A and B are shown apart, each in its own frame.
Chain A
Amino acid sequence: MDDKLDKLRQAVRRYDADSAKGALSQALESGVSCDTLRHELLLALEDVRHHLMSNEASVPEFLLCLDVVLEGLASLAALSGGAAGGDTGLVIGVVEGDPHDLGKNIVAGVYRAAGYAVTDLGCFVTARGFASAVAESGARVLALSAMMSTTMPYIKDAVLAAREASPGIVVMAGGAALDASVALSYGADGYAESALTVLEETEAAVKRAREGRGWSL
């Protein structure tokens, strides 16, 4: 098994999606479990993420690795005949009036790579739209994005609507216009500055919610 996983690791390190798919296929055929392979893909992404945070890797490398991991997960789902999504439901979207979706797409990719079952609502999502989505999906986490100073107040509306529809929802907020204090003032349960820290901050917010602790700065 080790040589199969090593082939996969090498392919991901080279940002070679085709080789990664080949390595996944061979590993599955030799009996390596889907869970093990998903874990390997996530480890590879975590490795680049940590190197990026200590300035030993670059943003392009993180994005390339994320692309390979996401393609790998999709390939794994197709090969194993199952969905690539995970256990924890998550809804993500950009608030109304805001067309900036690239950051949101990257964060959604990171969530998918980490095993969340992501429902991506896209851009221009109204408060009611977020509320309907969390109610219908039963999601545990709602991730809101606003990139403009004039659209970030809509986060507050979305938080209120989502809580009314799903009282136990954990709400994360992010985007260029925000910082932690603004997110807190809008009623969010957590804030992430970028795709690099979103997983840890989300896990911390979920843990706080489970323990009945509020969020403070």
Chain B
Amino acid sequence: MVVVEPGFAERIKESLKERSVRTLGFDRGSCSDAVDVDGALGRAIEALMAVAAPRGVYANAAVVEVEEDRVVTAAGAVRSAMFARLAAASGPERSVVFAVCTLGEGVDRLLAAQATLFKRSVMDAVASELAEIAADLADRHWQSEISAQGLESSARFSPGYCDWRLDGQAAVFGAVDARPAGVRLDAQFVMFPGKTISGVSLVARGVPASRPCVFCSLERCANRRPFEAASERERRSGPGTGHGT
């Protein structure tokens, strides 16, 4: 299990505020003096950092076969044609890292305690960005291991998005034991605590792009992301702040 250090967002507060502002759509239109958005974001960050307990778990499984609509690994199959295309286009020594990272139950309680839509929106946006950041930091733990072997990896690809149905969570939770991180999956494939991120990353000696979006023609997809080369993404990454247990 990877424990992300408690102060993981301290150095990136301003960046976190900017990301949250964009997520909330707060960067459009003028804002009267009666609204202290910066103050609200700052308070949300402080409150979340006080209760967040980021934990991550992962497992790496060798790819057994790449079919048209799935990638079969020793630990289970990722049933996504788009992910399969990415795998098919990648180099040898393919494997898939299944990962789960959570901010913990304290964040859920804090969110539920927000009494107004404004406070809930701000807190939720910041918590979502924090969850992504924590997951990225937790991922660096295994990324450093594979990078040392000269391997590359794709960006996180999560069940419920693209063409990977939500029941794909069963594959992730079948491959990795998330109980040490305090995460459970219910019968509707919803994770608890709520601010938990799960996903898979393709690992190979040569990954052509960070995301399957490069193979997709759906330009107006709400989840379409830039598909830079995996090596470019890794070059942009800084040192991780997690430690393994």
Report A's interface with B, CB cutoff 8 A: 13-15, 51-52, 55-61, 63-64, 66-67, 70-71, 96-97, 99, 102, 105-106, 109, 124, 148-151, 176-177, 179
Contact = CB atoms under 8 A, between A and B. Distances in A.
Interface string B9-32: 000000000000000111011111
A179 B32 CA distance: 31
Mostly helix, strand, loop or mixed at chain B's interface?
loop
B182 interface: no
Contacts of B194: 99
Task: Using C-beta atoms within 8 Å of the partner chain, give the interface range for chain B.
Answer: 20 to 34
Given A57-B29, A58-B28, A67 B117 contact: yes
B74 to A, nearest CB: 25
B185 interface: no
B222 A59 contact: no
Given A64-B35, A67-B116, A102-B121, A59 B29 contact: yes
B120 A102 contact: yes
Q: Which 7 interchain pairs have the tightest Cβ spacing?
A: A58-B31, A63-B118, A67-B116, A58-B29, A55-B29, A60-B35, A59-B25
A97 B32 contact: no
A14 B26 CA distance: 18
Contacts, number: 90
B162 A60 contact: no
A105 B120 contact: yes
Contacts of B50: none
Contacts of B189: 97
- Could you say which of A51, A55, A102 has the most chain B C-beta atoms within 10 Å of its C-beta? A102
A93 to B, nearest CB: 14
B26 A149 contact: no
- Could you say which of B30, B117, B124, B188 has the most chain A C-beta atoms within 10 Å of its C-beta? B117
A149 B168 CA distance: 14
B160 interface: yes
B118 A57 contact: no
A15 B35 contact: yes
A44 B223 CA distance: 35
